[in-house]
């Protein structure tokens, strides 16, 4: 990675998606995050970089790991963090997203972190508030900090991304994680394979510059990384798939299928995992191959970096 230069500034006011970022933006975030990795392991984890700043977490969709990760990240940097879970608030009483945005804006936050079930909700919010907006997942469009933490995890293990062969497997159609990762990994020079049954494969995704596979063994062949996605239970009831057991048979990550990948392949998963549906439970716990815990750990560092950079 290039040496850190103070002259480089982020090109965007908001972090709405990977597709808006340049390579130098991404490198800036990854470098900044690297500097927080050791801090997060040390005894005194608190900095005052964001002292006096107000961070509002606006979560319209339930989330455990992303919300706590953002909350912790803000607190470690010294910001005042307020988390709002919208499930019981005014929005349920008919207030629109824009009204909520205006209300919050009047409280002069420095940064708003938003998760929303509708694609593009963060774009709409960003047009209406004065502070920076960080997207913590919008519909099935983007989840940029997840892709960034995945990239940081890969770099930590493999020392590079350029030239790696990476398979993203599972429910691509409904996955914002997949979309953000496709943009990011492509930009950083990886070769990306997409593995999904046709019913969960978004239309014309090949135009993103990825290889499509409906046969998982072919899709993971010679891959350095196998990234599994969470399969939501409702996909069974709405006839996308026949059953959990059939899905596991054809698209679950098992030692048998993993044999086709490279020997030193690592396994990633954005969590929470459905053991026995998309991933074999032993593989999920194999600390040599599975980097799921590292992903969570580095997630805090990535979010600290994003908060710091976009708050400035």
Partner 1 sequence: MKKQYFINGNIIDPHNTINEFGGLIIGDKGQLEAVGKKVNTNNIPSREKVIDLKGKYIFPGLVDMRVFVGEPGFEYKENFRTLSNAALSGGVTSVVTMPNTDPIIDNVSIVDFLKRRGRDKSKINIYPTASLTKGTEGTNMTEFGLLQSKGIIGFTDGTKTIQNTRVMSRIMNSASDLDTLIMQHAEDYELAKDGMINEGIIATKLGLQGIPEMAELIIIDRDLTLLNYINCRYHISQISSGRSVELIKNKKNNLKFTCGVSINNLSLNENDIGDFRTFLKLSPPLRTEEDRISLVQGLKDETIDVIVSDHKPEDEEQKRLTFAQAATGASGIETLLSLSLELYHNGSLKLETIIKALTSNPAKILRINKGNLSVGNDADFCIVDINKPWIVKQENLISKSKNTSIENKKLQGKVTNTFVKGEELFKLN
Q: Which stretch binds partner 1 (CB under 8 A): 47-55, 199-207, 216-224, 244-252?
A: 199-207
Sole binder of partner 1 in the list 6, 93, 204, 288 (CB under 8 A): 204
Count of residues in contact with partner 1, rule CB under 8 A: 25
Residue 128 CB, nearest approach to partner 1 (Å): 9
Neighbouring-strand partners of residue 266 = 225
Decide whether 49 or 124 has the Cβ nearer to partner 1.
124
Decide whether 214 or 244 has the Cβ nearer to partner 1.
214
Is the dihedral angle over the CA atoms 129, 133, 136, 137 positive or is it negative? positive
Sole binder of partner 1 in the list 31, 80, 95, 118 (CB under 8 A): 118
Q: Which stretch binds partner 1 (CB under 8 A): 62-70, 91-99, 263-271, 294-302?
A: 91-99
Residue 60 CB, nearest approach to partner 1 (Å): 10
Sole binder of partner 1 in the list 140, 165, 230, 303 (CB under 8 A): 140
DSSP assignment of the chain equals -PPP-TT---S-SSB--GGG--HHHHHHHHHHHHHHHHHHHSS-----TTTT-EEEEEESS--SHHHHHHHHHHHHTT-EEEEEEGGGSGGGGT--HHHHHHHHHTT--SEEEEEESSTTHHHHHHHH-SSEEEEEEETTTB-HHHHHHHHHHHHHHHS--TT-EEEEES--TT-HHHHHHHHHHHHTT-EEEEE--GGGSPTTGGGGT-EEESSHHHHHTT-SEEEE-PPPTHHHHTTS-S-HHHHHHHHSB-HHHHTTS-TT-EEE--S---BTTTB-HHHHH-TTTB-HHHHHHHHHHHHHHHHHHHH-
Decide whether 168 or 279 has the Cβ nearer to partner 1.
168
Residue 116 CB, nearest approach to partner 1 (Å): 7
179 forms part of the interface with partner 1 (CB under 8 A): yes
Sole binder of partner 1 in the list 71, 110, 142, 150 (CB under 8 A): 142
Sole binder of partner 1 in the list 37, 49, 82, 205 (CB under 8 A): 205
Sole binder of partner 1 in the list 68, 139, 157, 214 (CB under 8 A): 139
Residue 102 CB, nearest approach to partner 1 (Å): 11
**Phi, psi (rounded to 5 degrees) for 259:** -60, -25
Sole binder of partner 1 in the list 43, 203, 234, 263 (CB under 8 A): 203
Q: Which stretch binds partner 1 (CB under 8 A): 24-32, 105-113, 192-200, 201-209?
A: 201-209
Nearest CA among 279, 171, 169, 140 for reference residue 234: 171
Residue 92 CB, nearest approach to partner 1 (Å): 14
Residues found near partner 1 in the complex (CB under 8 A): 19, 96-98, 116-121, 123-124, 138-142, 176, 179, 202-205, 207-208
């Amino acid at each position: 990675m290039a040496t850190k230069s103070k002259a480089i500034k982020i090109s965007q006011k908001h972090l709405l998606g990977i597709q808006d970022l340049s390579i130098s933006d991404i490198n800036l975030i990854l470098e900044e995050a690297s500097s927080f990795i050791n801090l997060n392991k040390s005894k005194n984890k608190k900095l005052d970089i964001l002292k006096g700043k107000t961070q509002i977490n606006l979560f319209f969709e339930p989330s455990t790991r992303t919300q706590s990760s953002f909350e912790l990240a803000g607190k470690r940097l010294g910001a005042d963090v307020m988390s709002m879970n919208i499930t019981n608030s005014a929005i349920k009483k008919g207030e629109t997203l824009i009204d909520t945005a205006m209300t919050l804006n009047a409280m002069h936050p420095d940064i708003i972190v938003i998760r929303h079930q509708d694609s593009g909700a963060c774009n709409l919010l960003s047009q209406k508030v004065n502070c920076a907006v960080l997207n913590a997942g919008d519909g099935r469009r983007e989840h940029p900090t997840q892709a960034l933490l995945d990239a940081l995890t890969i770099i930590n293990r493999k020392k590079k991304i350029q030239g790696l062969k990476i398979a993203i497997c599972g429910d691509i159609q409904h996955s914002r994680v997949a979309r953000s990762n496709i943009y990011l990994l492509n930009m950083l020079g990886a070769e990306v394979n997409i593995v999904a049954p046709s019913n969960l494969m978004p239309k014309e995704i090949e135009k993103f510059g990825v290889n499509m596979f409906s046969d998982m063994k072919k899709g993971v062949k010679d891959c350095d990384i196998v990234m599994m996605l969470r399969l939501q239970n409702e996909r069974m009831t709405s006839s996308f798939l026949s059953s959990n057991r059939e899905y596991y048979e054809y698209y679950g990550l098992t030692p048998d299928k993993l044999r086709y990948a490279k020997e030193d392949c690592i396994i990633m998963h954005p969590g929470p995992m459905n053991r026995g549906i998309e991933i074999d439970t032993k593989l999920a716990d194999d600390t040599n191959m599975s980097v799921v815990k590292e992903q969570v750990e580095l997630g805090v560092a990535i979010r600290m970096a994003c908060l710091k950079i976009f708050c400035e």
